A = this chain, B = another copy of it.
């Protein structure tokens, strides 16, 4: 006790913790406050009543000594790391970082850390990254929109980690789902065009059948249908989610027998490519032809004319995913799988 007190006084004295050697431990707090480590622990966790006066004294000492529980020691005991993981195909993609930012916002408030891992689409990166996260005992994992196999996902849930997927079907044993209302977003965008008297509305998609593209196309069809407008086969082009794809797709639809007065693109990059084609053909946008994007990447507002597009609520997706994970982790784990669908928001600019 005496020796302990002296040590503590020394730490407290000497500008706190030199070289990690004098790091304050729970036992230092306990002896300084004249209680057991059990009590200090319970003051920290609130899992057992502690008399007001004892609590106050302990909290004061914690403050004064700047005590912070060692996460490794705590983790070893609790089998929890207080860490959330996000796996995405491309860590530099702004959507993905916005998702990460949203997760972090929620996680940090609960004293959880967030790690974001990149697992490129090509090659077998995903299983390896998942293996690493599981080995690290990450408490909850968010898996981005992917070709994640059933096996990959099972690996996560089998390890005891909680799982949230960003898209895909809701199914038991596959964790919770958070996704954006893609179909509705595109429906709103096309309806916006219809409301502005555009009638021959073309569509340039990315690869057909791929998840976000498929849903966006459905929104396009539904909006035309609602407006009593036909889907002209020659006004629909399938290409890739790139600027190059947009150029090619726009060339195709703009050369239709009866050209369109608007071109709806499956994402902003395609729309920027379509803008190139329109400019090269001397077609003024939006006077001669309207062009719209989707996602609202930074460049959408920087090109000229600025793109009318739909905002992808990425940050909100991240927030929701983290909250779902924390609910399973902190609250009761039970309850059926849940799905959260987030609304998109139309961003009208100059191009349509």
- Contact A97:B101 (CB < 8 A) given known A19-B160, A72-B81, A298-B299: no
| 6 closest Cβ pairs, A-B complex | A20-B160, A72-B75, A68-B135, A299-B299, A72-B76, A299-B302
Spot the interface stretch: A111-119, A175-183, A216-224, A335-343.
A111-119
| B97 engages A92 (CB within 8 Å) | yes
| A98 engages B92 (CB within 8 Å) | yes
The 8 Å CB contact of A132, one of B70, B92, B108, B135, is B108
| A329 and B297 alpha carbons, distance in the complex (Å) | 39
A12-51 CB contact bits vs B (8 Å, 1 = yes)? 0001111111000000000000000000000000000000
Q: Which residue of chain B has the shortest Cβ distance to A137 in the bound complex?
A: B71
| B20 engages A302 (CB within 8 Å) | no
A264-300 CB contact bits vs B (8 Å, 1 = yes)? 0000010010011001000000000000000001110
**CB of A309 closer than 8 Å to a CB of B:** no
A76-B76, A299-B302 are known contacts; what are 5 more A-B pairs with Cβ within 8 Å?
A: A17-B159, A91-B97, A91-B100, A298-B298, A303-B304
A80-122 CB contact bits vs B (8 Å, 1 = yes)? 0100000000011010011011001000100101111110000
A-B contact pairs, 22 of them (CB 8 A): A18-B158, A19-B160, A20-B159, A20-B160, A21-B160, A68-B134, A71-B75, A71-B136, A76-B76, A91-B97, A91-B101, A92-B98, A97-B97, A101-B118, A104-B117, A104-B118, A108-B132, A113-B132, A272-B302, A298-B298, A303-B303, A304-B304
**CB of A1 closer than 8 Å to a CB of B:** no
| A18 and B68 alpha carbons, distance in the complex (Å) | 32
B-chain residues with CB within 8 Å of residue A4 when the two chains form the complex: none
B-chain residues with CB within 8 Å of residue A16 when the two chains form the complex: 158
B-chain residues with CB within 8 Å of residue A63 when the two chains form the complex: none
The 8 Å CB contact of A91, one of B104, B113, B115, is B104
Q: Which residue of chain B has the shortest Cβ distance to A91 in the bound complex?
A: B101
| A299 and B299 alpha carbons, distance in the complex (Å) | 5
* Residues 116-166 of A contacting B (Cβ, < 8 Å): 116-118, 132, 134-137, 158-160
**CB of A199 closer than 8 Å to a CB of B:** no
CB distance from A94 to the nearest CB of B (A): 6
| B113 engages A116 (CB within 8 Å) | no
| A269 and B301 alpha carbons, distance in the complex (Å) | 11
| A94 and B297 alpha carbons, distance in the complex (Å) | 12
CB distance from A274 to the nearest CB of B (A): 12
